[in-house]
Amino acid sequence: LASGAASRVRRLIHNLRPAEIAHVLESIPKDPRIILWELVDPDDRGEVLLHVGDEVRSGLIKEMEAGELVALTENLDTDDLADLLQDLPGTVIHEVLRSMDLQNRHRLESVLSYSEDTAGGLMNVDTITVRADVSLDVVLRYLRLRGNLPDLTDSLMVVDRNDRYLGLLPLSSLLTTDPELSVAEVMVRDVEGIPAETTAVQVAKLFEDRDLISAPVIDQNGRLLGRITIDDVVDVIRDEADHSLMSMAGLNEEGDIFAPVFASTRRRSIWLGINLMTALLASWVIGLFEATLQQIVALAVLMPIVASMGGIAGSQTLTIVIRGLALNQIGKSNSRLLMTKELAVGALNGILWSVVVAVIAALWFQSAQVGIIIGAAIIINLAFAALAGFGIPLMLQRMGIDPALAGSVLLTTVTDVIGFLAFLGLGTIFLL
Amino acid sequence: LASGAASRVRRLIHNLRPAEIAHVLESIPKDPRIILWELVDPDDRGEVLLHVGDEVRSGLIKEMEAGELVALTENLDTDDLADLLQDLPGTVIHEVLRSMDLQNRHRLESVLSYSEDTAGGLMNVDTITVRADVSLDVVLRYLRLRGNLPDLTDSLMVVDRNDRYLGLLPLSSLLTTDPELSVAEVMVRDVEGIPAETTAVQVAKLFEDRDLISAPVIDQNGRLLGRITIDDVVDVIRDEADHSLMSMAGLNEEGDIFAPVFASTRRRSIWLGINLMTALLASWVIGLFEATLQQIVALAVLMPIVASMGGIAGSQTLTIVIRGLALNQIGKSNSRLLMTKELAVGALNGILWSVVVAVIAALWFQSAQVGIIIGAAIIINLAFAALAGFGIPLMLQRMGIDPALAGSVLLTTVTDVIGFLAFLGLGTIFLL
| Predicted confidence (pLDDT) per residue in B147-162, tens digit | 889 888 999 999 999 8
| Predicted confidence (pLDDT) per residue in B3-43, tens digit | 677 888 888 888 888 888 988 898 888 888 998 998 888 88
Domain co-membership, A208 together with A299: no
Domain co-membership, B236 together with B345: no
- Interface with chain A: mutation pick from B238, B296, B367, B409, highest number of A CBs within 10 Å: B238
- The tally of domains found in chain B comes to 3
CB contact under 8 A, B249 and A315: yes
Facing B300 at nearest CB: one of A262, A293, A416: A293
Tell me the DSSP string of A216-284: EEE-TT-BEEEEEEHHHHHHHHHHHHHHHHHHTTT--TT--TT--HHHHHHHHHHHHHHHHHHHHHHHH
- Whether A252 maps to a domain, the answer reads no
Tell me the DSSP string of B295-316: H-HHHHHHHHHHHHHHHHHHHH
- Residue A102 class from Cβ within 10 Å (0-12 exposed, 13-18 middle, 19+ buried)? exposed
> Distance (Å) from the C-alpha of residue A313 to the closest C-alpha of chain B?
7
Q: What pLDDT does residue B69 have?
A: 86
CB contact under 8 A, B23 and A360: no
Q: What pLDDT does residue B2 have?
A: 57
HSE-CB for B30 with a 13 A CA cutoff: 16
- Whether B160 maps to a domain, the answer reads yes
User: What is the arithmetic mean of pLDDT over A11-36?
Assistant: 87
Distance between CA A370 and CA A296 in Å, rounded? 10
Q: What pLDDT does residue B131 have?
A: 95
Domain co-membership, B239 together with B136: yes
Q: In a 3-state reduction of DSSP, which class is residue B289?
A: coil
Domain co-membership, B149 together with B113: no
Q: Which residue of A has its CA nearest to B260?
A: A341
Facing B323 at nearest CB: one of A235, A246, A304: A246
Q: How far is CA B241 from the centre of its chain?
A: 5
Q: What pLDDT does residue A2 have?
A: 57
Q: What pLDDT does residue B3 have?
A: 65
Domain co-membership, A11 together with A97: yes
- Whether B253 maps to a domain, the answer reads no
Distance between CA B214 and CA A78 in Å, rounded? 24
pLDDT at B67 over 80: yes
Q: Which residue of A has its CA nearest to B262?
A: A345
Q: What pLDDT does residue A279 have?
A: 93
CB contact under 8 A, B175 and A316: no
Last residue within a domain, chosen from A80, A103, A122: A122
pLDDT at A350 over 90: yes
CB contact under 8 A, A213 and B210: no
- Read off the DSSP letter of residue A132: T
Domain co-membership, B334 together with B384: yes
- Whether A253 maps to a domain, the answer reads no
**Shortest CA distance to A422 belongs to which of A253, A239, A299, A301?**
A299
Domain co-membership, A206 together with A273: no
- Residue A95 class from Cβ within 10 Å (0-12 exposed, 13-18 middle, 19+ buried)? middle
| Predicted confidence (pLDDT) per residue in A126-158, tens digit | 889 999 999 999 999 999 998 889 888 999 999
Asked if the C-beta of A138 comes within 8 angstroms of chain B's C-beta atoms, the answer is: no
pLDDT at B46 over 70: yes
CB contact under 8 A, B309 and A19: no
- Whether B197 maps to a domain, the answer reads yes
Domain co-membership, B291 together with B418: yes
pLDDT at A276 over 60: yes
Q: Which residue of A has its CA nearest to B318?
A: A249
Cβ neighbours of residue B233 closer than 8 Å, sequence gap 6 or more: A234, B122, B203, B204, B207
CATH number for B56? 1.25.60.10
Domain co-membership, B270 together with B322: yes
> Distance (Å) from the C-alpha of residue B242 to the closest C-alpha of chain A?
7
pLDDT at B411 over 90: yes
Structural domain boundaries, residue A276:
261-431
pLDDT at A235 over 90: no
User: In the predicted model, what is the mean pLDDT of chain A?
Assistant: 89
Interface list for B 260-319 with A (CB within 8 A): 261-262, 264-265, 268-269, 271-273, 275-276, 278-280, 282-283, 286-287, 290, 293-294, 297, 300-302, 304-305, 307-309, 312-313, 315-316, 318-319
Domain co-membership, B390 together with B273: yes
- Whether A296 maps to a domain, the answer reads yes
Domain co-membership, B415 together with B279: yes
Q: How far is CA B18 from the centre of its chain?
A: 22
Cβ neighbours of residue A379 closer than 8 Å, sequence gap 6 or more: A347, A350, A351, A354
> Distance (Å) from the C-alpha of residue B342 to the closest C-alpha of chain A?
8
Taking contacts as CB-CB distances below 8 angstroms, the residues of chain A near B305 are 276, 279-280, 282-283
CB contact under 8 A, B283 and A269: no
Last residue within a domain, chosen from B101, B119, B137: B119
Longest dimension (CA), chain B: 95
Domain co-membership, B56 together with B158: no
- Whether A427 maps to a domain, the answer reads yes
- Residue B221 class from Cβ within 10 Å (0-12 exposed, 13-18 middle, 19+ buried)? exposed
Q: Supply the ipTM of this predicted assembly.
A: 0.81
CB contact under 8 A, B171 and A176: no
Last residue within a domain, chosen from B60, B94, B119: B119
- Whether A73 maps to a domain, the answer reads yes
Could you tell me the sign of the dihedral formed by the alpha carbons of A161, A167, A173, A175, in that order?
A: positive
Interface list for B 73-132 with A (CB within 8 A): none
Interface list for B 221-240 with A (CB within 8 A): 230-231, 233-235, 237-238, 240
CB contact under 8 A, A341 and B251: no
Helix (H) or strand (E) holding A106: helix A102-112
CATH number for B278? 1.10.357.20
Facing A345 at nearest CB: one of B265, B286, B309: B265
| Predicted confidence (pLDDT) per residue in B71-94, tens digit | 888 878 877 888 888 788 888 888
| Predicted confidence (pLDDT) per residue in A160-174, tens digit | 998 899 999 999 999
Asked if the C-beta of A244 comes within 8 angstroms of chain B's C-beta atoms, the answer is: yes
CATH number for A145? 3.10.580.10
pLDDT at A3 over 70: no
